[in-house]
Amino acid sequence: MAGFAVVALVTTLADISGEGPAGFLGGLPSTGPIGLLSIGITQSTSAAVQATTLFPLGFAVTFAFLLFYTFPAKLRFSARMPLALGLWLLAAAAVSVWSPDDFGLSVSAGLGVSLVVIYLRWRVRTAKPMHITIATSYLRLALRGALGGSVVATAVILSAVAGPLVGGVFAAAPAVWSSSLYVTNRAQGVQFTRALTWPFMQTGILTVIPYAIAARYFFSATGVWWGTLLAYLCISPFAYVAWWLTNQRGRGAVSH
């Protein structure tokens, strides 16, 4: 249900308000917290804590998915998306095989990879696309939510059955991002979705790894339900900064 709501809102905001608000909402922790919470409910709190071990590194790999998607300047969506997902899957599988059972290493490596990825994405300048305002409807909202929700649900199930350590990698799967880009491409075009990856990245790098750190602590201290809520509260200042960054105007005709 959460995946249904997030994808429906992200794609509708993209139609109404442009890439800034949509990118902010889509970049917030969503699939990951659902996956970690599901592991905690179906297995145990200790399993959820263990799943946070590889989550930051898994997020960095998922972060790279957005770079893989954006980088080819002239490529149709039908080739762009499979290429990005294929490269993400290879990288995620490599992390799963490696499976370093060290949270500090995961955070350090995840942050390092994320910073490199966002720098490389910043160097890829995309022309600010023309935004087409599209009227929404309950049917359009429901269809978009159903598509996104099914993708998110698949990622959550995979994270739950793969075991807590490997599940932490796949809990960070780009379910919301990939389904949001697919839906938005059909409404706004591929160049709009390339620009949308930048606010996704700005919000993601500011909120997701801090969420994982907070969740690991609070899961142990308060359990997965309260831990999830408190982790979200902890990242609210970072989310505010992300909101400010993703909704800046007047930066000219070039979008990062």
Task: Render each residue's pLDDT in the chain as its tens digit; 256 residues.
Answer: 554 555 555 555 555 555 566 777 777 888 788 778 878 887 889 988 988 998 899 899 989 999 999 988 788 999 999 999 999 989 988 888 887 889 999 999 999 999 999 999 988 877 665 554 444 555 555 655 565 556 556 656 766 676 776 777 777 778 778 878 887 887 778 888 888 899 889 999 999 999 999 999 999 999 999 999 999 999 999 999 998 888 775 443 345 5
Q: For residue 217, is it within any domain?
A: yes
Between the CA of residue 16 and those of 25, 183, 243, what are the distances in Å?
Answer: 14, 14, 17
Q: For residue 37, is it within any domain?
A: yes
Q: For residue 256, is it within any domain?
A: no
Collapsing DSSP to helix, strand or coil, 127 comes out as strand
Number of domains in the chain: 1
Domain span at 204? 2-248
Q: For residue 142, is it within any domain?
A: yes
Nearest to 203 by CA among 118, 143, 77: 118
pTM score over 0.85: no
Q: For residue 128, is it within any domain?
A: yes
Are 28 and 198 in contact by the 8 Å Cβ rule? The answer is: no
Q: For residue 243, is it within any domain?
A: yes
| Separation of alpha carbons 69 and 66, rounded Å | 5
Q: For residue 253, is it within any domain?
A: no
